[in-house]
Structure 1
Amino acid sequence: MKTADFLHVLDREGRLLADAAEQAGTDAKVPTCPGWQVTDLLRHMGTVHRWAAAFVAEGHASYQPAPEPPALDGTALITWFCEGHRQLVDTLTADEPDVRCWHFLPAPSPLAFWARRQAHETTIHRLDAEAARGGTPTEIDPAFAADGIDELLLGFHARSKSRARSPEPRVLRVRATDADDAVWTVRLSDEPPAAVRGGTGEADCEIAGPVALIYPALWNRLPYPTVQGDATVATLWREKSAVT
């Protein structure tokens, strides 16, 4: 996917998140984020969007902490979230492709990184807002979902801080049933997971299903569609793979 594609998703998902939050009400509980209300979700995302935009707009060359969110609620909080989302989309859309700034996963460029990362961040939390609202969640494009699995398995969990580890070597396979090339193999050990795109070799456990369901399931937003083999490996992933 191209940066423009991620920006389109980011724009759409932020607006969907705001709509779901407004329908749910800011005091509604978020079942996919235990202990959170929609207020917490909006404060988190409004802060993250402003934090991400600042790296690109101000060219920060090193990590900068996120600001504290304001003590807003209700309509004022939704408006504040929408302003931050619009600021992020406009910043990423207007900036030069060769802008240099800090980012934390491999990417063709910092701009490409932030567009991709914020598109996925916003999509996952849009699902949270829709869970608080109730009803059928908005569908996720399969190509975008596959990219999100790539980012999670080959990006986040390739880092030394990943907690997805096993005292005994295990192999987890992730297989999309609706796309021929959407298969991942994750080797778990006492080191950070080693994931590759592809499905060669034996696996102790396989998580399978439509890619648009596997993507949020790996982010612990939905149950796994199906699990075959040693289910304790899938349970280990759910318990250890949270990204904070």
Structure 2
Amino acid sequence: MGTGADGRHVRSGTAFDPNSICGIPLVKCLRCHQFDNSIDDEGVIRSTPWESDADECRSDDSPLKPPCECRTGLPDSGDGIQSIHHGNGQEAAKLAMIADGRLDEPVPTCPEWTMADLVRHVAIVYNHKTHGMRHGELADQQLTEQGDPIAQLRTALGDLLAEFAARRPDQNTPTWFETDQTVGFWMRRMAHETIVHRADAELAAGQPISPVDDDLAEDGVDEILGFIPWGVTRFPHKGRKVGGLLAGTTLAIATPQRRRLITIHPDHIDVAETLDGDPAVTVLADPTTVQQWLWRRVDNDAMTITGDRDVAERWYRALEEFGG
């Protein structure tokens, strides 16, 4: 899912949009740059230092000698991204566990997809970002459709987390979001990508959507409410549609902790966190529900709506333009 600005994999007429995890310690050999990416059913990567014999190491120019010196964990970051997004490997593990035994189930929030398609899509997304960090380009990374999608997901997750562990969040890497070309962008984006697709799997399995930590969900709300104004100006056809539905209106999107005021103009959208303003409608829910609503995984019936419900309905329709 996402804005569709990076590569695209197409299968049987269905578009897989690789744009749409972090926080689990990995073990990296500093000599040969290999990783132990073994993930158990709980999404935990083995943390026992992995050693390599000298003739197995692929690098001959490192001053390190076997047994390899290894590093674990993500680098320290002043922006708090690791603490906010810790445990996203467990989110992917939840997705895998829900999908296990249900791969033929349809996914109601991703029409024409089965659970296998959903799991394989997330693996494609991870591989795409891993390739971008390794090679410095957002090439179209396609995943073979042969084999077990759950195994493919676990392998792709391990590779992605390994790349995150080897880099600082502020390091440069290509992204589709022009104003943020950092590894931290992908750490955040993949966290929320996984949360939303785990919700897809839960809905396909007939299960309620599991809540996430309020801070993480609030960050997910911030993320998409940052993408929407960008998308309106970056893709004028989206701006015209949203403006046609809502120009001249305001709405407030609120959780018990925070309130964002959305003002829609004919050619742009303003988002401000404020208690001021007189919106036509206020839409309120807990942070997890607001995040899932913005991605259209729950509908207006899940929200407390005060004011002009028609504005809320039109906003919800407009969200289709942004990957929901």
How high is the TM-score relative to the length of structure 2?
A: 0.67
Partner of 1:12: 90
Amino acid at match of 1:43: R
Which residue of structure 2 aligns with residue 166 of structure 1? 243
TM-superposition CA deviations, 1:67-124 (whole Å, max 9, x none): 2332236xx11101111111111211222445322123344x6111110010001110
Write out aligned runs for 1:80-229 (5 A): 80-105=152-177, 106-107=179-180, 110-159=182-231, 160=233, 161=235, 162-163=238-239, 165-167=242-244, 168-177=247-256, 179=257, 182-224=258-300, 225-229=303-307
Distance of 1:123 and 1:26 partners within structure 2:
19
Matched, 1:66 2:140: yes
Deviations 1:151-184 (Å, cap 9, x if unpaired)? 111234333224562333110110112x1xx110
Contact 1:10 1:89 in 2 (8 A): no
Q: Offset at 1:6?
A: 5.0
Amino acid at match of 1:174: I
Structure possessing the higher relative contact order (Cα contacts under 8 Å, 6 or more residues apart): 1
Superposed CA offset, 1:25-55 (max 9, x none): 1110112222221122112111111111122
Which has more helix, going by share of residues?
Answer: 1
SS of the aligned residue for 2:252 comes to: strand
Structure number with greater Rg is: 2
Whole-angstrom distance in 2 between the partners of 1:212 and 1:127: 10
Preserved contact between residue 168 and residue 184 of structure 2 (Cα < 8 Å)? no
Structure 2 gaps, min length 5: 1-78
Q: CA offset at residue 141 of structure 1?
A: 0.9
Per-residue deviation, 1:192: 2.9
Matched letter for residue 14 of structure 1: A
Q: Provide the residue aligned with 2:15 in structure 1.
A: none
Which of 76, 81, 97 lines up with 1:3 in the alignment? 81
Separation (CA, whole Å) in 2 of partners of 1:141 and 1:197: 20
TM-aligned CA deviation for residue 206 of structure 1: 1.1
C-alpha displacement of 1:3: 2.5
Distance 1:8 1:170, change over 3 A: same
In 2, Cα distance between equivalents of 1:135 and 1:99: 38
Which of 96, 102, 115 is the equivalent residue of 1:38? 115
Q: TM-score, normalised by structure 1?
A: 0.87
CA distance, structure 1, for counterparts of residue 294 and residue 150 of structure 2: 28
In the alignment, structure 1 segments of 5+ residues that lack a partner are none
**How many aligned positions are there?**
234
Cα distance change on mapping 1:7 and 1:66 into 2, 3 Å = farther
SS in 1 for 2:91: helix
How far residue 5 of structure 1 moved from its aligned partner, in angstroms, is: 2.7
Runs of 4+ aligned residues of structure 1 deviating over 4 Å after TM superposition are none
